[in-house]
Amino acid sequence: MPLREECLWEKLTPQRPDNAALKGEVKVDVCVIGAGFTGLSAAVHLLEQGKTVCVLEAHRAGHGGSGRNVGLVNAGMWIPPDEIEAGFGTEVGSQLNRMLGAAPSLVFSLVDKYNIDCQLRREGTLHMAHNA
């Protein structure tokens, strides 16, 4: 059986609208490059602050890594919090850990605020431990 190289999320979700290529000039306060999670979140937050925004994407919204993730909302990274602080220093590391810890609440609040139909399920997390 040949390997299928398709994005699961594109197959499971309704077709997104095609947007015309940018022609001419657009004058905005901020131009966001990339319509993945980070770019679209930045655009939304800038719009909420009253800025005019243009989002440029070479393909389709969510085409890159954002469209190829496993769909989990996590409060951290694969690096343990103490290693983050050791690597970045206490001040920056603890700030990053706080931001990572608050990230799921931010995601959930945006889904609620904008009534995003994304089949969100808030079911907790599983933390495992092991030893030698």
Please state the pTM of the whole predicted model.
Answer: 0.74
* Candidate from 62-71, 76-85, 86-95 with smallest mean pLDDT: 62-71
Measured distance CA(66)–CA(112) in Å, rounded: 20
Whole-number mean pLDDT of the chain? 86
pLDDT score of 59 = 85
Residue 102 clears pLDDT 90, i.e. is over it: yes
pLDDT score of 14 = 67
Measured distance CA(52)–CA(92) in Å, rounded: 31
> CB-based contacts of 76: which residues, under 8 Å, 6+ apart?
97, 100, 101
Structure tokens given for 119: 């089949």
pLDDT score of 3 = 75
Per residue in 6-20, pLDDT tens?
766 677 766 767 778
Per residue in 53-72, pLDDT tens?
999 998 888 877 777 777 78
Average pLDDT over residues 71-91: 89
Return the ∠ at Cα 82 (arms to 76 and 86), rounded to 5°. 115
